[in-house]
Amino acid sequence: DTGVSQDPRHKITKRGQNVTFRCDPISEHNRLYWYRQTLGQGPEFLTYFQNEAQLEKSRLLSDRFSAERPKGSFSTLEIQRTEQGDSAMYLCASSEDRVGSPLHFGNGTRLTVT
Amino acid sequence: GENVEQHPSTLSVQEGDSAVIKCTYSDSASNYFPWYKQELGKRPQLIIDIRSNVGEKKDQRIAVTLNKTAKHFSLHITETQPEDSAVYFCAASPPPPLSGGYNKLIFGAGTRLAVHP
């Protein structure tokens, strides 16, 4: 499967713990996006990278959230001091860097904070 | 910023009937409108998209129409089948700050479509 892959698929953690998720985009895709999806809602934009540069961050991304893409390939999303409100599906997507290039989503990481 | 509203939230049809899902957007500068299908526990998958220089696009049983003046766009599925059952999301994308590409999508809340045999 050469699509977007995310790891882990599920994560259960206790409130206050730190968690880190990984995303491997489609190899030729320069742009990488993180979205968050809660039950019954559409995905909400969090941040995106063009190669290793983080070009935009949503106001939804509090200072407890940090995302990196150090070599312009895979990306990590870290949440520090998790809260119950952080429970959601975290989706990664990638696209080519050209007009009209659609977003391809991964299967997501489902985070449950107890 | 952009806001996308989607209706209805649930839609139930008989197999073979047509289904229509409607979305409105607020930012007249938005220029790209994709539709995604998400089955339970799976990733959102692009099924069709349309750009602001086009009024209608078809792909087999699926079509999308765009009315830029009214700022709304619709998904039409004809001859529905049970495997069409899923949640469908519309999205709009404001133009990026840099040339090329689309930097983010603003999604609607989704429509749960149930197709009954």
Determine the residue among A9, A37, A44, A45 to mutate to test chain B binding: the one whose Cβ has the most chain B Cβ atoms within 10 Å.
Answer: A45
Pick the more confident residue, B30 or A16.
A16
pLDDT at B34: 95
Distance, CA of B89 to CA of B6 (rounded, Å) = 8
pLDDT at res. A72: 86
Query: Which H helix or E strand runs over B41?
Result: none
What integer is the mean pLDDT of B83-101? Answer: 82
Does the beta carbon of B44 lie under 8 angstroms from any beta carbon of chain A? yes
Closest to B103 (Cβ–Cβ): which among A41, A48, A106? A48
The candidate with the shortest Cα–Cα distance to A83, out of A68, A54, A63, is: A63
- Mutation target for A interface from B48, B103, B106: give the one with most A CBs within 10 A: B103
Contact B105 A45 (CB under 8 A): yes
Task: Give the residue-averaged pLDDT of A71-86.
Answer: 95
pLDDT bin (cut points 50, 70, 90) of residue A103 is: very high
CB A11 within 8 A of CB A112: yes
B109 touches chain A (CB under 8 A): yes
Q: Provide the percentage of residues in chain A whose pLDDT is more than 70.
A: 97
Give the pLDDT confidence score for residue B31 in this predicted structure: 87
Q: Which of B42, B49, B101 sits opposite A99 (nearest CB)?
A: B101
CA dist list (Å): B50 to A103, B46, B86, B106: 14, 11, 21, 15
pLDDT bracket for residue A5 (50, 70, 90)? very high
Give the pLDDT score at A38.
94
Band of pLDDT at residue A62, cut at 50, 70 and 90: confident
Give the pLDDT of residue B60: 96
* Residues of B whose CB is below 8 A from A41: 109-110
pLDDT at B43 over 70: yes
Model pLDDT for residues B1-20, shown as the tens digit of each residue? 789 999 999 999 999 999 99
B66 forms beta bridges with: B73
What pLDDT was estimated at residue B101? 59
* Confidence bin at B100 (pLDDT 50/70/90): low
Q: Quick one: pLDDT band at residue B102, thresholds 50, 70, 90?
A: low
Q: How high does pLDDT run on average in chain A?
A: 93
Residue with tokens 């409130």: A15
